Structure 1
Amino acid sequence: MSEEAKILDQKNVYRVEGFTCANCAGKFEKNVKKIAGVHDAKVNFGASKISVYGEASIEELEKAGAFENLKVEPEKSTRHTSQEANGEGGKEEKVPFYKKHSTLLTSVLFLSFGYLSYFVNGEENIVTTLLFLASMLIGGLSLFKVGFQNLLHFEFDMKTLMTVAVIGGAIIGEWGEVAVVVILFAISEALERFSMDRARQSIRSLMDIAPKEALVRRNGQEIMIHVDDIAVGDIMIVKPGQKIAMDGVVVSGYSAVNQAAITGESVPVEKTIDDEVFAGTLNEEGLLEIKITKLVEDTTISKIIHLVEEAQGERAPSQAFVDKFAKYYTPIIMVIAGLVAIIPPLFFDGSWETWVYQGLAVLVVGCPCALVISTPISIVSAIGNAAKKGVLIKGGIYLEEIGALKAIAFDKTGTLTKGVPAVTDYNVFSKQTNEKELLSIITALEYRSQHPLASAIMKKAEVENVNYSEIVVEDFSSITGKGIKGIIKGITYYIGSPRLFKELSNSIFDKQIEASVEALQIQGKTAMVVGTESEILAIIAVADEVRESSKTVIQKLHQLGIKKTIMLTGDNKGTANAIGEQVGVSDIQAELMPQEKLDYIKRLRSDYGNVAMIGDGVNDAPALAASTVGIAMGGAGTDTALETADVALMGDDLRKLPFTVKLSRRALNIIKANITFAIAIKFIALLLVIPGWLTLWIAILSDMGATLLVALNSLRLMRVKE
């Protein structure tokens, strides 16, 4: 094993409690990387987690986060035994508001007494000053600790700016304003933490979907056990109205199961013996006995949660821009503040007190809180909303790229079509032949065939209650590339392509039959001729049915401004054209090999830039990989689709695609608006320096207001509907 592989093998994931801002998360990551025995560390601020490559104790990690009083625990250590058997997630004990914010409330109380003393005793009174000082120290102790440490290490972030501003304000005697600034900054941080937690809650709510306990039959007894103790092969009993705790296969019973939590489907799906069911879905009607097929950490819902949390850690282009911008922005603001404080008094005979105050106000207004939080909240909100609607987006980068798509390529089979062949036409020519009797003969022959279309004919026989299992077939054989034949009651029957019957010497393959075959082929159907050596009895046509939603989806995508929709298929041109025209795609490419699909996607990328490919995640892997965004159909239960695609439509439902494009564009617009607004409000506040109108009050209120508005704007993404 290589050194790099060994390091990756030592990966441990921890949940972190107490992050107040993205900058703090970055500082924690740096501190953890300095721990002896740690090779690398990566903080996922969106999911509030850290991945540590190497060895580190909880004590060492908490020491690295002591500047923010961070609490760390292993990701898999939390086992909620207090949760009820009905599967509803255990409720966290709520901390009363006054206890949660006791420090801030105490600080506000001292500030109030300070202003009361100010009006009674005046500004210069020692009691007034002490009350303001007490308010400032109580409300800003954690801020000062971090700020002083940053100053000693020449690290410049928003807490450094605030600490310098507060020290400067105290030196020039602005005790009241400094105390207010400290409190408003604490409120701003609390709002930032609250809004980020609200966004994260959309992911945490997924964790509460699946029950933590299940009723299992063991040794003839039914016992309630924790999901961690359930083994593959156990039989789980799920009563009507209960949630299913684990992935498995139905071995007894019949019911309708609401799979909205996993697939986004609003209509319950019928489940009977041998059907797959997923953890977190709701059994609505009958009693089901389910054989467990996956351990709790491997269930579909567990994989979704894991992938969504990982997705929050993937930095989108706009977030990368903001992080880079903030890195240079903070030192620049400190330089500008210094110039504002010293240039007017030195060169323009300005008052030192006035311009030092203006410089301090510049430091406060320069805090990049709103800018730093503008992107992560938007991405977490959008990805969480999409997951609830049955769309798994595996990173902020893909969320942004979907919004910029110009062309979308669709695989035909299983994407635009259902991927399951069905009998569409059954035309009997001989008036002496009984339709049902002939269908039973056809099915008896096809039952012995290995042809992919045989299943469609057998389904039709079952639907029409035609018995074929008792029919005796003799001398059955397959005619390679042409069809099949067999003897039933002394008569040799043939089923196959028109070419087979043209080659039979006694067959009467007239123009009427040829015209019927061509008409069916033009419609994109596979026509099979049925007959004997001397007579053609019927034509049966089979086709892969088009999804009911395909045409509507293509129309909606065109309305959203997608310039080109292309169907890629290995099918013949006749079938491809028929289906392509039916669904309304703007271009059809038929008879393509996998390599040709790949080459076509590359050409589309050079022509249009951003291109998506939608397929089943297996056959179309090369084309999915070559596209800007690879979208897999039917992620639920399909490990390959979850692993290979950038986006998975969990419910095998194309109708989620226009919603995903709409959500992505809304997210892009909100991120751009947030960044623009955050920078603009800083710029406007800085302009107030020129006439000398900028105060510490205006500075901190502009920063807090920007943070609040950016957060609220981002949280709107949680409400985007289909």
Structure 2
Amino acid sequence: MTNGKVELILENLSCANCASKIEERVNSLYFVKSANLNFVTKKLTAEISPNNYKLFLESVTRIVNEIEPNVRVLEAEAEKPVVDIKDLSLIILSILFFVIGLFIYKRTWWGLIFFVLAYILAGKDVIKKFLKNLLRLKVFDENFLMTVATISAFLLKEYPEAVLVMLLYKIGELLEETAIRRSRKTINSLKNLEIEYANLKIENEIKRVNPKDIVPGDTVIVKAGEKVPIDGVVAAGSCFLDTSAITGESRLIPVEENDEVFAGSINIDGTIEVLAKSFYKDSTISKIIEIVENATSKKSQLERFITSFAKVYTPIVTLFALLVALLPPLLFSQPFDKWVYRALIFLIVSCPCSLVLSVPLSYFAGVAKLSRDSILTKGTTYIDKMAGKIYAILFDKTGTITQGTLKVDKVVTKGISHEEFVLFLCHIESFSNHPIAISITNEFKTKVDTSSVKEVKEWPGKGIEGIVFGKKVIAGTKEFLGEKGVEVDIEEKSFLSTTVYVAVDGRFCGYVVLKDFLKPDIKDALNGLKKLGIKTYLLTGDKKEAAQEVASEVDFDGVFANLLPQDKVKIAEDIKKEAKNATVAFVGDGINDSPALAACDVGISFAQNASSIATAAADVILLENSISKILDLIKVSRFVRKVVIQNIAISLSVKFLVMALGALGFANLWEAVLADVGVALIAILNSLRILKNQK
């Protein structure tokens, strides 16, 4: 239990409708701030005071026992096989007795015994739950409906049909549970990202420990084939890292001493020593898993609708069943047994499980699919918003449509060779921690002899000077060189770039231009958004000239410059008024743009490290530094919405069709249960298509 958040596993939970009831009851507890039950993972997450943990555990256990007595409340997850062998064995035995009964029950009275045995073996759990719920006066669940329907069939002397209905129901339940367990394994494959151990270096010994025991300052050894257990910096060694689990990019990243590494990366070759910079709980991979697991807590509008719909659907259909059973015999002197039989069909299809199961499963599969594509969403509600009509997407400039780092664009020399120019420049800039100086030294990677650099003095906002190889070197702005008596007869004009002018021994010898380049996929991504009918706007704090220079390269529908954070919020609100009920999204850095991110329907940011994942105010976090990921987000979200609507349409149309056929006498009980089970399986399998969708 951390920060008031507690997690419990509800083992054997197989009823989606019951899961909704449990969640509602737990949320009604006075000491629970909020609770969310994820039926797919069987995980109940709640926010409570640590002092109330024991009371919470007792209350949840009591609620679960009242609603689903067969479910066990666990504090740790127990791994179960995909297929329950015990249930499968009972079903096979029940089928055997049923087949024997079919052959002999018309020839001899004791043939009925085989039907009774088959019925008890198949339906004992259903009947047991029905009796427990009946004692608590809790009806209208699938156990009540199936028991009443099958016992009524027995009373109508439809023995084979009564057994077959229960048998088909249990077979369907087993198939559903098997499909759900398979989907859990697929969706929860993200859990495989968790690191099992770390090689802690203690003096000259290496001890295998739990990554959660690592503290900042510890040194861990990462061998070839092992995962980096914590976020940190390479202290010794070099290797290639596979960072696909974090960034989604399949290329290998070379790392060496002083390079930053993230937990979850896999060492492909070599051995490195990593100095831990944070605790495991604050690592990149831990934050990714936490966001994915909590994504279902902010439910989509469709999920909330289905939960509300399920509460009234079963009682209404049961009422119709009662009317079907009573009105024709009472009003038109029709035989009771005929219309009671038809009413039983209504009971069988009155459970909304296929709806309550498939809708959250579809959204959770969508969350898993997006996480595989390096897109983290903090709630299924944002999948809904990105799936609907999007009016506009607003973009910040620096680090959003640009790469966020200065890189050398060009070098111009005068009266000096390129090699000499770079040598003097890198030596003097290596003594500065200014971002421009770091960009220059990182770009050229010139080997620096620090002993050859003397009398260095840095002038904030202007430049740097010193003696390099016995010569006076000055690097900085044109104005700075002028102050030092150096005449600069060339000037580079660009509002998007930064120019560093260089003089050696009082003589101007050239300049280097650094630029924050646009992301390579920005033009294609914006064209893709325009094809979808989405407007794009640039909102930046930079000068108007810089914004216009960007606009000359990239086609935005509108450009706003010289903006303070509150100005961005005002523009976002104005655009939202134009959008009416359509979605307006903002793409920014996740920290400085927090007000604008919060003002829009969906806030999207790029994550550069674990810190930004944890602190980003965004609703959606892109782990890969690519604008085209926004297109992926829209396409996956729309596919999820399409699957959800398909599941709702299929489930309701099949149920209503069976009801109509049953009322008209064209359907029987086993066809009704087959249709009900079949539509649930179809909905599950349809939901799992999301994981295989290639966009």
Aligned equivalents of 1:504 and 1:225: distance in 2? 59
1:50 to 35, 44, 54: 44
Written as runs of structure 1 = structure 2, the 5 A alignment for 1:643-658 is 644-658=617-631
Is it true that 1:626 corresponds to 2:599 in the alignment? yes
- Relative to structure 2, which stretch is displaced further, 172-181 or 438-447? 438-447
| Contact 1:636–1:651 under 8 Å retained in 2 | no
| Contact 1:248–1:294 under 8 Å retained in 2 | yes
Q: Name the structure 2 match of 1:598.
A: 569
Aligned equivalents of 1:508 and 1:689: distance in 2? 93
Q: Unpaired segments of 5 or more residues in structure 2?
A: none
Q: Structure 1 pair 599/703, CA: closer, same or farther in 2 (3 Å)?
A: same
In structure 2, what residue type is equivalent to 1:409? L
- Relative to structure 2, which stretch is displaced further, 326-335 or 165-174? 165-174
Shift of 1:353: 1.0
2:8 to 3, 14, 28: 14
Shift of 1:203: 3.9
Written as runs of structure 1 = structure 2, the 5 A alignment for 1:87-98 is 94=81, 98=85
Written as runs of structure 1 = structure 2, the 5 A alignment for 1:677-692 is 677-692=650-665
Shift of 1:150: 4.0
Aligned equivalents of 2:479 and 2:170: distance in 1? 82
In structure 2, what residue type is equivalent to 1:698? E
- Relative to structure 2, which stretch is displaced further, 54-63 or 702-711? 54-63
- Relative to structure 2, which stretch is displaced further, 9-18 or 587-596? 9-18
Is it true that 1:207 corresponds to 2:180 in the alignment? no
Q: Name the structure 2 match of 1:85.
A: none
Q: Report SS of the residue matched to 2:398.
A: helix
In structure 1, what residue type is equivalent to 2:209? I
In structure 2, what residue type is equivalent to 1:427? V
Q: Report SS of the residue matched to 2:604.
A: strand
Q: Report SS of the residue matched to 1:329.
A: helix
- Normalised TM-score (structure 1): 0.86
Q: Name the structure 1 match of 2:98.
A: 111
Is it true that 1:613 corresponds to 2:586 in the alignment? yes
2:452 to 464, 470, 477: 470
Aligned equivalents of 1:495 and 1:234: distance in 2? 40
Q: Report SS of the residue matched to 1:604.
A: helix
| Contact 1:440–1:467 under 8 Å retained in 2 | no
Q: Structure 1 pair 213/272, CA: closer, same or farther in 2 (3 Å)?
A: same
| Contact 1:423–1:541 under 8 Å retained in 2 | yes
Shift of 1:619: 1.2
Q: Report SS of the residue matched to 2:241.
A: strand
Is it true that 1:661 corresponds to 2:634 in the alignment? yes
Aligned equivalents of 1:583 and 1:34: distance in 2? 52
Shift of 1:647: 1.4
Q: Structure 1 pair 359/598, CA: closer, same or farther in 2 (3 Å)?
A: same
- Relative to structure 2, which stretch is displaced further, 51-60 or 220-229? 51-60
Q: Name the structure 1 match of 2:327.
A: 343
Shift of 1:508: 6.7
Is it true that 1:373 corresponds to 2:367 in the alignment? no
| Contact 1:46–1:309 under 8 Å retained in 2 | no
Output one character per residue of 1:624-677: Cα deviation in whole Å (capped at 9) or x when no partner: 111211122126423455652211112334343222211111000110111111
In structure 2, what residue type is equivalent to 1:277? V
Q: Structure 1 pair 399/189, CA: closer, same or farther in 2 (3 Å)?
A: same
Q: Structure 1 pair 62/105, CA: closer, same or farther in 2 (3 Å)?
A: farther
Written as runs of structure 1 = structure 2, the 5 A alignment for 1:371-450 is 371-404=355-388, 405-428=390-413, 430=414, 432-443=415-426, 446-447=429-430
| Contact 1:444–1:473 under 8 Å retained in 2 | no
Written as runs of structure 1 = structure 2, the 5 A alignment for 1:127-276 is 127-151=110-134, 152-276=136-260
- Relative to structure 2, which stretch is displaced further, 359-368 or 603-612? 603-612
Aligned equivalents of 2:461 and 2:608: distance in 1? 35
In structure 1, what residue type is equivalent to 2:562? E
Percent sequence identity is: 32
Aligned equivalents of 2:416 and 2:32: distance in 1? 80
Shift of 1:169: 1.9
Shift of 1:31: 6.2
1:553 to 525, 528, 531: 525
Shift of 1:329: 0.8
| Contact 1:526–1:543 under 8 Å retained in 2 | yes
Shift of 1:438: 3.9
Aligned equivalents of 1:224 and 1:398: distance in 2? 41
- Relative to structure 2, which stretch is displaced further, 593-602 or 352-361? 593-602
- Over the aligned positions, Cα root-mean-square deviation in angstroms equals 3.3
Shift of 1:706: 1.0
Q: Name the structure 1 match of 2:513.
A: 541
Aligned equivalents of 1:567 and 1:240: distance in 2? 45
Q: Structure 1 pair 319/481, CA: closer, same or farther in 2 (3 Å)?
A: same
Aligned equivalents of 2:161 and 2:425: distance in 1? 91
Shift of 1:272: 1.6
Q: Report SS of the residue matched to 1:185.
A: helix
Shift of 1:424: 0.9
| Contact 1:210–1:244 under 8 Å retained in 2 | no
- Relative to structure 2, which stretch is displaced further, 707-716 or 643-652? 643-652
| Contact 1:421–1:543 under 8 Å retained in 2 | yes
Shift of 1:496: 4.9
Aligned equivalents of 2:27 and 2:458: distance in 1? 70
Q: Report SS of the residue matched to 1:290.
A: strand
Aligned equivalents of 1:550 and 1:401: distance in 2? 23
Q: Report SS of the residue matched to 2:400.
A: helix
Q: Unpaired segments of 5 or more residues in structure 1?
A: 1-6, 79-91
Count of aligned pairs between the two proteins: 684
Q: Structure 1 pair 102/230, CA: closer, same or farther in 2 (3 Å)?
A: farther
Shift of 1:163: 2.7
Q: Name the structure 2 match of 1:570.
A: 541
Output one character per residue of 1:248-292: Cα deviation in whole Å (capped at 9) or x when no partner: 322111011101112211111112223232333210011111223
In structure 1, what residue type is equivalent to 2:43? K
Aligned equivalents of 2:216 and 2:602: distance in 1? 35
Shift of 1:215: 2.7
| Contact 1:440–1:468 under 8 Å retained in 2 | no
- Normalised TM-score (structure 2): 0.89
Q: Name the structure 1 match of 2:74.
A: 73
Written as runs of structure 1 = structure 2, the 5 A alignment for 1:289-328 is 289-328=273-312
| Contact 1:391–1:649 under 8 Å retained in 2 | yes
Output one character per residue of 1:151-177: Cα deviation in whole Å (capped at 9) or x when no partner: 452442333322322232222222221
2:346 to 337, 362, 369: 362
| Contact 2:324–2:663 under 8 Å retained in 1 | no
Q: Structure 1 pair 641/42, CA: closer, same or farther in 2 (3 Å)?
A: closer
In structure 1, what residue type is equivalent to 2:111? T
In structure 2, what residue type is equivalent to 1:470? S
| Contact 1:436–1:466 under 8 Å retained in 2 | no
Shift of 1:487: 7.8
Aligned equivalents of 1:450 and 1:243: distance in 2? 32
| Contact 1:369–1:703 under 8 Å retained in 2 | no
Q: Name the structure 2 match of 1:86.
A: none
1:525 to 489, 497, 502: 497
Shift of 1:714: 0.5
Aligned equivalents of 1:117 and 1:344: distance in 2? 35
Aligned equivalents of 1:610 and 1:99: distance in 2? 50
| Contact 1:635–1:648 under 8 Å retained in 2 | no
Shift of 1:689: 3.7
- Relative to structure 2, which stretch is displaced further, 154-163 or 325-334? 154-163
Aligned equivalents of 1:411 and 1:186: distance in 2? 55
In structure 2, what residue type is equivalent to 1:625? A
